[in-house]
Structure 1
Amino acid sequence: MLINPRNLLLILCLACTGYAVAQKPLVLQGKVIDKFSRQPLEGVTVSIPEENTGTYTNELGEFQISATEKTHRFKVAFIGYRDTTVIIPAHNLTPFAISLSPSYKSLDEVLVISSKDDPTEKVNNVQMGVDRISMEEAKLLPAILGEVDILKVLQLKPGVKSGGEGTAGFFVRGGSNDQNLILVEHAPVYNPSHLFGFFSVFNSDAINKVTLIKGGFPARYGGRLSSVVDIRMKEGNMQSYHGEGSIGLIASRLTLEGPIVKDKTAFIVSGRRTYIDLITRPIMQSQNDGNSTQGYYFYDLNAKVNHKFSDKDRLYVSGYFGRDRAYFNNDYQYDEDTYRTEESGIAWGNATAVARWNHMFSQKTFSNLTATFTDYTFSIFSNFKDEQETLPDTYFGFQYYSGISDWSLKYDFDYIPSPKHYIKYGAGITYHTFRPGASEFESDDPDFEIPPISVGASNIYATEVDLYAENDHEITDLLKVNYGLHLSGFFVGESFYYGIQPRISARYLLSPDLSLKASFSTMTQYIHLLTNSGIGLPTDLWVPATDSVPPQRAWQPAIGVAYSFKKEYEVSVEGYYKKMNDIIEYLDGANYLVDGLEGWEEKVESGEGWAYGAEFFVQKKYGQLSGWVGYTLSWSNRRFPTINLGETFPYKYDRRHDFEVACIYKLNDRIEFSGTWVYTSGQPITLPVAKYEGQFGEPLYAYEGRNGYRMMAYHRLDLNVAFHKEKKHWSRTWNIGAYNAYSRLNPYFIYLEYDYRTNTNQYVQVSLFPIIPNISYEFKF
């Protein structure tokens, strides 16, 4: 039977039309918001399970997703909110909104130890070396003296090492403390520690979420070699007023949020203060006849306001201010005719201010114009005043201060031409002021008169510019790649440095539950940290690259696999190698507190470092028992032309093995148990092999190599039990726990001492913290 040519042509046209329709998916657009506060939710997982496709919401809570032309069942999931399923009719091309309700903990709900409820988040995400943490996660774990510390939670992740008790900062994949870019609402924070490293400066009640990036850096980040910690504050509730707080053994905090203009303007303000000084002050006064006081305290204040001009324009203004102060005051009779008042102490702190304008040009393009200011200041002060009966009063004062401040302007764009591409690009400029250390003296004593003078290093000014572009490209259903380029320049004095930093990350799905990942990134850092000690004192100084000290540079390849099974467990393995160039170290015997900072370039030496290792991570995300186990096997070494005779030596925080265990067991709606255990190999240390007396009886030491010995291993168990009670309009939680539950005396430092009983030199270990009990009361209303 012959087919009519006209019919054949009609069949071919229909076939081609059908093919075209089948190959052209719909692009569905939507927005996810909090049901009660009406604030957009960033990072929400939006998926269509039957089509094995998914995406995440952006900063505006918006998403785009490809789908075939039929009715779809969307699954929407986000930590702290109930999972929601939304049915979207076929042929729906109108942007739609999805409201999520906060979840209230119960046995039949998912208890998540991740930033997202998506059990395959690590599998599908193109980025590797990334940990996302919300405060709901952090608050489930044991707190130190009632204070939830987000940096301590990060140190429970593979690849992140603590410097030890009493040591500020953290160390990522063999890098140093200054190589971590810590951002709070886009503003860098230069010293993230309170109480000599025991607490961080971040108030948990003010934080919404935290993202840690250890490798495979997106092109939008720059300025540091080893990690990015991106901290975002809560937005404030636009519908109603709420508050929460905590009363602990040494500190209390209070947070309030609510609408200024309903559905238009919201605020959040959060404060925290210790009261160690309020407790110790009367005790010290009673022991010294009321003549002397000494103490320590810190405080934080976070505030944020956001205003919605329209659906296309929002303004965010936020700020942080925090201070630490340790002081000693003494009033006494100096001699028969003189009464003396003495004041001395140490103080340091951070301040940030951020203004961000968010504008939507279209459903596919939006921008953020951000202005930031950040300042870090450290000072030591000492002064006394003599009040005399027969002579004029006299005064002597001394102050040493240092710090760094930045003014920055950034313009960032997000462009989504299709669900297969997510393009980000932008530019920024930062003006740095380095205050590397100066001293002020003043005295009006007739026998020792000193007019107000300032001596020390002068301020150094520098300008840093950067430009970037990146594309999150879904090449096929199996292969997704993020590639980009970060360009930067640094002007200081008569010198100019630049960095060309390509970045690429790729994910290939071997199955819906298994992916293979790889990444390569190059980083440039134009500032250095002069580290005087590792004991947590904030005396470290930030200095720029100069004519004789070039910027730090690094490159890092990584490869890994991510696997999710039974929709409940998540497993990842990553291996990395990091090469660092032009890192600096003090020459043997150099010390800026003793020698002064003038000519500091002659007291340091540029060298190289390399770190490599493997990270293993297993996480159980659902059920009454949840938590994770992490393990890191790593090496980190340094080499300098003259230090240690030019021989390679282990980095100070090189630790071969690191184990981290975190567990949460929910007995019922009212009682939760949690615990963490950490184990790390001994820290390298430089110890003298002999001690003897010099010509004038002073102690002298003989050394053999840098970091040639290791201290004992560090391990610690922290426990907590939480008792919850919820009513209609308020809730409370009692936390009872212990830091270092089995009172392990972990090494802090070791020194050589002569033992007169045995007539030999002995090594003596000093430890800081035995078991520390904790009780705190938390409330919400």
Structure 2
Amino acid sequence: MKSSICSPRTIRKYFLVGAVLLSTCTLQSTIVFASCVLQKTNPAQTRFSIKLQNATLEEFVKQVEQKTGYSFIYGEEVRLNGRITLAVRDLTINEILRKAFENQPIGFEVSGKHILLKKRSMPQKTVSRRFTISGYVTDGASSETLIGANVLESRQRVGTATNPFGFYTLTLPEGEAELIFSYLGYETRHSSFPLNKDTVLNIRLDGNNELAEVIILSDKKEAGIQATAMGAHEIPMTQIQHTPAVLGEADILKTIQLMPGVQAGTEGFSGLYVRGGGPDQNLILLDGIPVYNADHLLGVFSVFTPEAVKNTTLYKSSFPARYGGRLSSIVDVRTNDGDMHRYHGALSIGTLTDKLHFEGPIWKGHTSFSLSARATHTAFFKNLIVDKDDDYADKYNYYFFDINAKVNHKFNDRSRLFLGFYKGKDHYHFDSTDDNSYHNDSQTKYYYKDDSHLNWGNTIAYGRWNYVFNNKLFCNTTISYNNYLMKFTQDMENTQTYQGQITDRYSYFSQFRSGISDWGARMDFDYTPAPEHHIKFGAEYIHHTFRPGISTSKLQEIENGKPQDEMIYNTNNNQALRGQEVSLYAEDNFNLGRHLSLNAGVRASLFSTQGKSYYSVQPRLSTRYDFGQGFSAKASYTCMAQYVHLLSSTPFSMPTDLWVPITKDVRPMYANQYSLGSYYTGLPGWEFSIEGYYKQMRHILEYQDGVSFFGTSTNWEEKVEMGEGRSFGLEVMAQKTLGKTTGWLAYTLAKTDHRFKDGAISQGKWFPYKYDRRHSISLCLNHKFSERIDVGASWIFNTGGCITVPERETIIIRPDGNTESAPYISQRNNYRLPASHRLNLGINFNKKTKHGMRTWNISVYNAYNAMNPNLVYSKWEKEHYDMDGYYNDMYQGNGNPSAPKKIKSRARIKKVTILPCIPSVTYTYKF
């Protein structure tokens, strides 16, 4: 029982005060006092004013007690059906209680200064009809759809959120509806109307410049219920654009690296290693289409041009069932649809690249386009990577570019069509020609040519159709083509002529191609039968064509004026590997009571290749319990399967890395991840979280000891071993989400091990993964001084990863001059690299002009010039040499000259820093 009756001490106090007053006041004062006491004991004579908004029973009781002096008594069985909203003036206590509990299963009885609440049965009512409100939430100026906008019905306290295409649906009982629409950086909009039929309500939200400094990296909201997703972050483009990066290039993947549980493979590069996984275990999506190579310049930059991107979401655990095919993370990048009403864009000139973005209407209000392009300054970059004293400095050339294009057509409120295209390419070229450079005599001349090209990049094209079948069922259909291709060609010629006739000639031409291409079709459905349930289901088909390596070479020779036989070599020609992948999924977000919410789903997939089929059923479950007062806890279990592998022998994202499928001998990879976390959001403008996880991995691939690929896929199945992995860690994050100063501090404690049985690697023992970093800290801050000036800073600290280094090496020199080396390695990844850390700074100077805004950005990457180990290598130092008790000096020839000489050396680790302190300047004009 709950009671707020006054204590005996307080009652005694009131009696003493009354006695003093009665003994000292005049008769008139006594009469007035008595009348006041009489009035307070009569509830029918006193009137009160009370105002409450969405109050719980406890909040209602507390305010009434404070306003009136009454005390409430009630048991735990007394509960509200919904929160109380009340605004009354000059009513008696009985009138207030009747209004408050009019539609509640609560009865009351007033006795003196006490109010007894008791549970009562609600009269049977005719079941009210329910109707559905649906529509799109868009930007008020451009009609760009808003992903994840919140829609709340204030009376029923139920809500939803827009899907990746800006569509929402909400089912409510008949009556007056009061909807609240809100989105980060936009004015909140209210809409009230009588709901007596299914209603289509499209809402346009106006931007709010006052909220421009707000940065939110909170958990991804799902279908308007309490978010169950763990390890999910929605990263605003404002944060990506204000995070300092190398050469001033805002980069999505570099910003994601600042999240807890995410690491860069090599210091300063954009590879993602999430919760102990490898780079191929990340599913990176561009408008729902997989991107197989997401890097430029060996991983320094990603392929995503920020001006083309609308929304980015990272999933590290509790993967929704609609995602599959990778073990470690999902990076879902959505691009702009294009402004339906006006033309505008941006032009940016930076230290490394130029960028152009332009969008606008083709048919105002119905069809729009969005176009973005980025390309490097060839001249600048050549000076950056080539030694100016190199005799061949003018022979090198490198550039990369990205093009994003999208067309959006709105047929009506039910039907929309999207056409999208992306093309990105890296190009390296070396061209050296020497004509008549040497003259032994006037009759003999020499000609030399070396022309080499290395190109790699992605091509993505898709068509997407959104259709609203009814107010509760939304469908998205996508047909896509995706191609990643790497091509290397080399054309060499060395010719000698005498008196104009060819006497000797060596001509060699080679070409190597590798890649993967997909044709895909996908259907996704959103079904909302009730506000408490948000169901997603769908199917996907992908036809994979893998070309791990196709090489062709031709050799022609002329010796002493006589042509030799021409030789042509073909390796792995027409040996493309094909795979058929089919997936089905279903998931449901739902509530169980006021505090508990769940997301339960399952994904079933089939992969067929080389006459063999692999099946997989992957359950997913995540749950959230709300304790109130800003405290909540989450738990999740996720099962994932992966059917493709990336073969790589280098720490960088190299174009020679090879994508290969599972085969009849190489099985799919699987992972089971268990996560548990707690969260606090009770402090306005702040969010705190702590998450722990444990992940098991099976059938992971590693190359055998002493084996590497470097662009050749010949017999690759014989060069790898399948094993198991385990990863566990703790992630802590504190973030400030409101105000002029925003940002976050993240800390990760993690450990990842691999093991391969049968002694194939490290004698079958557990050994650390090469990117196993025990501690990681990232601090990211942004401060807005005014509309004209804002600054950003990020500081990163990582303990070192692991490399494999022979502890010692023995070189045996035999009398015939031949040598043998015998390195000794105790286990794989036996040396831990030193820690790395750096500070990045950036400042923006903004100025509004008559036709737009111009911004100067000044950034400094690695501000205090930390010499971090971007590359490491081992250098051997001679210790001593002896053999069978003899002392042999190979330089002086002492000892027995017929005995083999043994030289023992030890390794010294040398580091190379290729990303020191780098300042940059970027000018951007938005129009």
**TM-score clears 0.5:** yes
| Cross-structure match for 2:642 | 525
Which letter maps to 1:379?
Answer: K
| Cross-structure match for 1:436 | 548
1:120·1:564 contact (CA, 8 Å) conserved in 2? no
2:237 counterpart of 1:129: no
Instruction: Give the distance between the partners of 2:794 and 2:391, measured in 1 at CA.
Output: 45
1:752·1:762 contact (CA, 8 Å) conserved in 2? yes
- Mapping for residues 456-605 of structure 1, pairs under 5 Å: 456=572, 458-511=575-628, 513-593=630-710, 596-605=712-721
Q: 1:688 aligns with which of 793, 803, 806?
A: 806
1:355·1:370 contact (CA, 8 Å) conserved in 2? yes
2:601·2:619 contact (CA, 8 Å) conserved in 1? yes
2:305·2:402 contact (CA, 8 Å) conserved in 1? yes
Measured at CA, do residues 738 and 49 of structure 1 come closer, stay the same or move farther in structure 2, by a change above 3 Å? farther
**Superposed displacement of residue 597, structure 1:** 2.6
**Superposed displacement of residue 276, structure 1:** 3.1
Instruction: Give the distance between the partners of 1:663 and 1:151, measured in 2 at CA.
Output: 18
Per-residue deviation, residues 183-225 of structure 1 (Å, max 9, x unmatched):
1011111111101110001111111111111111111111111
2:220·2:234 contact (CA, 8 Å) conserved in 1? no
| Cross-structure match for 1:382 | 490
Q: Which moved more, 1:366-375 or 1:89-98?
A: 89-98
| Cross-structure match for 2:325 | 223
Q: How many residues align?
A: 763
Tell me the secondary structure at the aligned position of residue 431 of structure 1. strand
Instruction: Give the distance between the partners of 1:575 and 1:77, measured in 2 at CA.
Output: 32
**Superposed displacement of residue 381, structure 1:** 2.1
Q: 1:409 aligns with which of 521, 525, 529?
A: 521
1:624·1:665 contact (CA, 8 Å) conserved in 2? yes
Instruction: Give the distance between the partners of 2:225 and 2:247, measured in 1 at CA.
Output: 36
Instruction: Give the distance between the partners of 1:167 and 1:99, measured in 2 at CA.
Output: 40
**Superposed displacement of residue 375, structure 1:** 1.1
Which letter maps to 2:462?
Answer: V
| Cross-structure match for 2:200 | 95
Measured at CA, do residues 123 and 261 of structure 1 come closer, stay the same or move farther in structure 2, by a change above 3 Å? closer
Instruction: Give the distance between the partners of 1:155 and 1:530, measured in 2 at CA.
Output: 23
Instruction: Give the distance between the partners of 1:84 and 1:163, measured in 2 at CA.
Output: 42
Uncovered stretches (5+) of structure 1, i.e. residues with no partner: 1-11
| Cross-structure match for 1:64 | 169
Measured at CA, do residues 199 and 479 of structure 1 come closer, stay the same or move farther in structure 2, by a change above 3 Å? same
1:745·1:767 contact (CA, 8 Å) conserved in 2? yes
Q: 2:782 aligns with which of 664, 669, 691?
A: 664
| Cross-structure match for 2:923 | 777
2:214·2:740 contact (CA, 8 Å) conserved in 1? no
**Superposed displacement of residue 581, structure 1:** 0.4
Measured at CA, do residues 672 and 114 of structure 1 come closer, stay the same or move farther in structure 2, by a change above 3 Å? same
| Cross-structure match for 1:251 | 353
Q: 1:714 aligns with which of 833, 836, 861?
A: 836
Per-residue deviation, residues 13-67 of structure 1 (Å, max 9, x unmatched):
xx99965479887754453111122233221122356765432112442323466
1:554·1:579 contact (CA, 8 Å) conserved in 2? yes
Which letter maps to 1:413?
Answer: F
**Superposed displacement of residue 507, structure 1:** 1.4
Q: Which moved more, 1:699-708 or 1:572-581?
A: 699-708
Tell me the secondary structure at the aligned position of residue 762 of structure 2. helix
Per-residue deviation, residues 350-379 of structure 1 (Å, max 9, x unmatched):
111111111111111121111111111122
Measured at CA, do residues 76 and 203 of structure 1 come closer, stay the same or move farther in structure 2, by a change above 3 Å? same
Instruction: Give the distance between the partners of 1:221 and 1:120, measured in 2 at CA.
Output: 14
Which letter maps to 2:608?
Answer: F
| Cross-structure match for 1:352 | 460
Tell me the secondary structure at the aligned position of residue 153 of structure 1. helix
Question: What do you get for the CA RMSD once the two structures are aligned?
Answer: 3.0
Tell me the secondary structure at the aligned position of residue 839 of structure 2. strand
Measured at CA, do residues 91 and 166 of structure 1 come closer, stay the same or move farther in structure 2, by a change above 3 Å? closer
| Cross-structure match for 1:181 | 283
Instruction: Give the distance between the partners of 2:579 and 2:381, measured in 1 at CA.
Output: 44
| Cross-structure match for 1:33 | 138
Measured at CA, do residues 611 and 24 of structure 1 come closer, stay the same or move farther in structure 2, by a change above 3 Å? farther
| Cross-structure match for 1:726 | 848
**Superposed displacement of residue 650, structure 1:** 0.6
Tell me the secondary structure at the aligned position of residue 145 of structure 1. helix
Which letter maps to 2:509?
Answer: G
1:112·1:137 contact (CA, 8 Å) conserved in 2? no
| Cross-structure match for 1:6 | none
**Superposed displacement of residue 339, structure 1:** 2.6
1:45·1:118 contact (CA, 8 Å) conserved in 2? no
Which letter maps to 1:780?
Answer: K
1:436·1:542 contact (CA, 8 Å) conserved in 2? yes
Q: 2:469 aligns with which of 356, 361, 384?
A: 361
Measured at CA, do residues 123 and 288 of structure 1 come closer, stay the same or move farther in structure 2, by a change above 3 Å? same
| Cross-structure match for 1:46 | 151
| Cross-structure match for 1:84 | 188
Which letter maps to 2:337?
Answer: E
Q: 2:246 aligns with which of 112, 131, 144?
A: 144
| Cross-structure match for 2:823 | 701
Instruction: Give the distance between the partners of 1:563 and 1:30, measured in 2 at CA.
Output: 33
**Superposed displacement of residue 538, structure 1:** 2.2
Measured at CA, do residues 67 and 617 of structure 1 come closer, stay the same or move farther in structure 2, by a change above 3 Å? farther
Instruction: Give the distance between the partners of 1:182 and 1:282, measured in 2 at CA.
Output: 29
| Cross-structure match for 1:342 | 450
Tell me the secondary structure at the aligned position of residue 327 of structure 2. coil
Q: 2:874 aligns with which of 738, 748, 752?
A: 752
Tell me the secondary structure at the aligned position of residue 411 of structure 2. strand
Instruction: Give the distance between the partners of 1:52 and 1:464, measured in 2 at CA.
Output: 42
2:431·2:452 contact (CA, 8 Å) conserved in 1? yes
Instruction: State the TM-score, normalizing by the size of structure 2.
Output: 0.78
2:629·2:682 contact (CA, 8 Å) conserved in 1? no
Which letter maps to 1:631?
Answer: Y
Q: 1:329 aligns with which of 426, 431, 450?
A: 431
**Superposed displacement of residue 117, structure 1:** 12
2:796·2:837 contact (CA, 8 Å) conserved in 1? yes
2:225·2:590 contact (CA, 8 Å) conserved in 1? no
| Cross-structure match for 2:532 | 420
Q: Which moved more, 1:337-346 or 1:602-611?
A: 337-346
| Cross-structure match for 1:741 | 863
**Superposed displacement of residue 70, structure 1:** 6.8
Measured at CA, do residues 690 and 476 of structure 1 come closer, stay the same or move farther in structure 2, by a change above 3 Å? same
Tell me the secondary structure at the aligned position of residue 635 of structure 2. strand
Instruction: Give the distance between the partners of 1:533 and 1:22, measured in 2 at CA.
Output: 67
| Cross-structure match for 2:768 | 650
- Mapping for residues 259-298 of structure 1, pairs under 5 Å: 259-277=361-379, 280=382, 292-298=394-400
Measured at CA, do residues 567 and 120 of structure 1 come closer, stay the same or move farther in structure 2, by a change above 3 Å? farther
Instruction: Give the distance between the partners of 2:819 and 2:230, measured in 1 at CA.
Output: 57
Instruction: Give the distance between the partners of 2:280 and 2:486, measured in 1 at CA.
Output: 16
Measured at CA, do residues 585 and 122 of structure 1 come closer, stay the same or move farther in structure 2, by a change above 3 Å? farther
**Superposed displacement of residue 291, structure 1:** 9.8
Per-residue deviation, residues 270-308 of structure 1 (Å, max 9, x unmatched):
110011346648998997899952121111111111111
| Cross-structure match for 1:620 | 736
Measured at CA, do residues 316 and 194 of structure 1 come closer, stay the same or move farther in structure 2, by a change above 3 Å? same
Q: Which moved more, 1:429-438 or 1:694-703?
A: 694-703
**Superposed displacement of residue 773, structure 1:** 0.5
Instruction: State the TM-score, normalizing by the size of structure 1.
Output: 0.92
**Superposed displacement of residue 398, structure 1:** 1.1
Of structures 1 and 2, the larger Rg is shown by 2
2:639·2:671 contact (CA, 8 Å) conserved in 1? yes
| Cross-structure match for 2:47 | none
1:553·1:581 contact (CA, 8 Å) conserved in 2? yes
